[in-house]
Amino acid sequence: MLKRKFIIHTPEEIARIRVAAHLTALARDQIAASIQEGMSTKELDMIAGAIIRSLGGKPTFLGYGGFPANICISLNDVVVHGIASNSQIIQKGDIVSIDVGVTFDGATGDTALSVYVGGEPDADNQRLLDGTRLALEAGIAAAKNGNCMRDLSGAVEKVGQAHKLGIVRDFVGHGCGIRLHEPPDVPNFTTPGSGIKLLPGMVLAIEPMFNLGTYKVYVEKDNWTVRTADGKRSAHFEHMVLIGEDQTEVLTRG
């Protein structure tokens, strides 16, 4: 059987995906509002699990490929897939990235954001957060019927470059909706060729992962935690979008 290059969701699926994505956005914002200095990431993860269940959902990441926590919590030089622990305490000046997946009624939402803890970020941290968030918005604006994947990836990449940030290449966005990870890949950088055409019914998780230093990353011995190669900080913002005939809907706006 040929592996599908992308998925066009049916109207019935889209109705369920819309609900799951909305719950995921609510959970993300409630979890973000719970972040406090002095809290362990394990405490935050337990709060996240309780929030997701209180909304009637299931934490998608728990047990996904063996992942051992409710959500991903990635501090500072951790790019993505950080695992909560009792010994990791959130401190003033940290960048905390939360990546939240919620499964509801056989559909899946996936969204992420990074927050600066306590006070105003310095210029570098501000550039990192602004550049990554604005790149996501640029990607959303380019994610429309008739464009190709290169338009989307190029829009994200351009903002990253303008902010002089390292654009992670080893991890990319993805189709999403029924399963957590569906085709196609949604890269944050361009490669030769235009890529697939974006078509109505596609649901894409756009998720720039940008670094203050090198784009290079490595995976720790726990086989999950992804860190920057130079120890500099990273940020991560993610929304799910539905490509429509005439307009694109951000499903995780909240």
Cβ-based nearer residue to Mg ion, 205 or 250: 205
Cβ-based nearer residue to Mg ion, 11 or 60: 60
- Shortest approach of Mg ion to residue 92 CB, angstroms? 28
- Shortest approach of Mg ion to residue 205 CB, angstroms? 4
Cβ-based nearer residue to Mg ion, 45 or 110: 110
Q: Among positive and negative, which fits the CA dihedral 65, 201, 252, 234?
A: positive
Q: Among positive and negative, which fits the CA dihedral 57, 61, 65, 68?
A: negative
Cβ-based nearer residue to Mg ion, 51 or 240: 240
The pair phi, psi for residue 94, each rounded to 5°, is -75, 150
- Shortest approach of Mg ion to residue 20 CB, angstroms? 13
Cβ-based nearer residue to Mg ion, 37 or 170: 170
The pair phi, psi for residue 79, each rounded to 5°, is -80, -55
Length of the chain: 254
- Shortest approach of Mg ion to residue 77 CB, angstroms? 20
- Shortest approach of Mg ion to residue 215 CB, angstroms? 18
Q: Among positive and negative, which fits the CA dihedral 15, 21, 24, 30?
A: negative
Structure tokens at 81: 């897939």
Report the distance separating Cα 19 and Cα 205, nearest Å: 15
Which residues contribute to the site for Mg ion (CB under 5 A)?
Answer: 110, 205
